[in-house]
Amino acid sequence: MFEGQPKGLYALALANTGERFGYYTMIAVFALFLRANFGLDPDTAGTIYSSFLGLVYFLPFIGGILADRYGFGRMVTIGILVMFFGYLFLSVPLGGDSVAMVCMMAALLFISFGTGLFKGNLQVMVGNLYDDPKYADKRDAAFSIFYMAINIGALFAPTAAVKIMEWAQNSLDYSVNDSYHFAFAVACASLIFSIAIYYIFRGTFRHVEGGTRKVAVAADQAELSPADTKARIVALCLVFAVVIFFWMAFHQNGLTLTYFANEFSEKTASGANCMPFDVINLVLVIFIVYALFQLFQGKTMKSKAISGGIIVAASLALYYKYTQATGTIDVSAPIFQQFNPFYVVALTPVSMAIFSSLAKKGKEPSAPRKIAYGMLVAAVAFCLMLAASQGLNTPDAQAEAGDAGTFVSPYWLIYTYLVLTFGELLLSPMGISFVSKVAPPKFKGMMMGGWFVATAVGNLFVSVGGFLWGGLPLWVVWTVFIVLCLLSAVFMFSMMKRLEKVA
């Protein structure tokens, strides 16, 4: 899995891990912050939330155009600095009046613009490492590793947000509204980590940072004909059109799925049911998964022995924590967002092993086909939510009922995130890899930005969930996303021959 990869991959992945940790710490509580601090209703909060996500994913298109001209590394550095000042501004508690709202909007603009300069261009640099024929066959695996690194940062973010807010409330006597700003301050610290990693290990990837547009083009071995360039751009645009609806559905994790966690999931867990909500337990499971792979794939007895020791130690630690899980804990809505990154990190080696096995047999699906399968899996995830919502109140009725409302086990959401993550692993890292491979050399930054534009449009449509949330039965909300995912999959399969021709 990790063998034979260029060292620059790990440096770039770690730099991205730090930035994503800060971003997801903010996102874990942002929708709830909007409602608590400014008293916004669900659809207004949803509009602000989705608009911010839209900017975060649209501006890499601009960042890519700039990088094609001025260099990817330069834009990444500027992006980190701009993001830092945005998070710093957001960390200041200013209350809930109109002035505070304007200041928050300004901070969001800084964060989104900085992310636009950083996010896509870092991924282009990862792809450029694999333009070297020596590494060309490892491109898909590399983006799976890179994507896993993103989610390592995201895994710890919800716990960090919840714990620092609890600390601010209990130790410093801050109100709930003001404690949100401590979660935003975590992002500032994480960016310091990112920039440090980037410059300490810069020597491993400096050759793919790019410079001027002229240099970037000269570095490519062959020019494409106008017809080939057009065919590739059209194929990429078809993929972009499909993934819009995946991200519209997927990013309900920060909106309607968080609303569901906050309003319909049981508020406490006791005994063994507490285990999934402790991030340490999730990390121990990850250790076991990776050690198992090393145990069977290791080439020396020493590596196998170390792996066996890790499995035994982690299993004993889990068993001990199981025996100590006797009390009752509060289950807060943001904590559910740790499950998606946990599943990404834990399941990435499983996914890579499956596709590696299929590749050896000549049966590995193409990247476009994996994307189509990902849409089908996403539809299945929302079918779980549809089942979970049978017999529940509408959100409006639930708000009126209070403690007498209808509630379900938190495991419905946990399992939904499991299935949704399978879809994500089929679609997101494979989509990024596809773009880095197919994009015409002159337009690499722009085309990677196009991937994020599609994500941005999907994020703008996330607000649909907020508008549906209220008087409608919950099954109607989830059915909308099921239908959109199924229609997108059908469209993708209908275009498969054209897409696989350029893959």
Q: Which helix (H) or strand (E) holds 114?
A: helix 98-129
Does position 5 have pLDDT exceeding 60, yes or no? yes
Q: What is the pLDDT of residue 218?
A: 41
- When comparing pLDDT for 267 and 135, which is higher? 267
Does position 221 have pLDDT exceeding 80, yes or no? no
Q: Residues of the chain with pLDDT > 90: what percent?
A: 31
Q: What is the pLDDT of residue 178?
A: 79
Could you report the per-residue pLDDT of 424-480, keeping only the tens digit for each?
Answer: 988 888 888 888 888 887 787 788 888 888 888 887 888 888 889 988 999 999 999
Lowest model confidence (mean pLDDT) among 217-221, 236-240, 285-289, 495-499: 217-221
State the Cα–Cα distance between residues 300 and 479, nearest whole angstrom.
51
Lowest model confidence (mean pLDDT) among 153-167, 239-253, 280-294, 462-476: 153-167
- When comparing pLDDT for 58 and 418, which is higher? 418
Could you report the per-residue pLDDT of 253-280, keeping only the tens digit for each?
Answer: 878 998 999 999 998 999 889 999 988 9
Domain ranges of the chain: 7-210+225-267+331-502
> What is the 3-state secondary structure of 6-33?
CHHHHHHHHHHHHHHHHHHHHHHHHHHH
Could you report the per-residue pLDDT of 372-418, keeping only the tens digit for each?
Answer: 999 999 999 999 999 999 999 999 999 999 888 999 999 999 999 99
CATH homologous superfamily, domain 7-210+225-267+331-502: MFS general substrate transporter like domains (1.20.1250.20)
Lowest model confidence (mean pLDDT) among 126-135, 247-256, 476-485, 487-496: 126-135
Q: Which of 402, 273, 260 is nearest to 328 (CA)?
A: 273
Q: What is the pLDDT of residue 480?
A: 95
Which residues make Cβ contacts (< 8 Å) with residue 326, sequence separation at least 6? 271
Does position 1 have pLDDT exceeding 80, yes or no? no
Mean of per-residue pLDDT scores for the chain: 86
Judge whether 462 and 50 are in contact, CB under 8 Å.
Answer: yes
- What stretches of 172-278 show up as alpha helix (H) in DSSP? 176-200, 213-219, 226-250, 256-263
Does position 215 have pLDDT exceeding 50, yes or no? no
Tell me the mean pLDDT in the region 118-147. 83
Q: What is the pLDDT of residue 213?
A: 45
Lowest model confidence (mean pLDDT) among 10-24, 52-66, 187-201, 411-425: 52-66
- When comparing pLDDT for 31 and 475, which is higher? 475
Does position 219 have pLDDT exceeding 60, yes or no? no
Angstrom distances, CA of residue 486 to CA of 51, 382, 468: 25, 11, 19
Residue 2 binned pLDDT confidence (cut-offs 50, 70, 90): low
Which one of 287-296, 315-324, 350-359 scores highest in mean pLDDT?
A: 315-324
Judge whether 367 and 424 are in contact, CB under 8 Å.
Answer: no
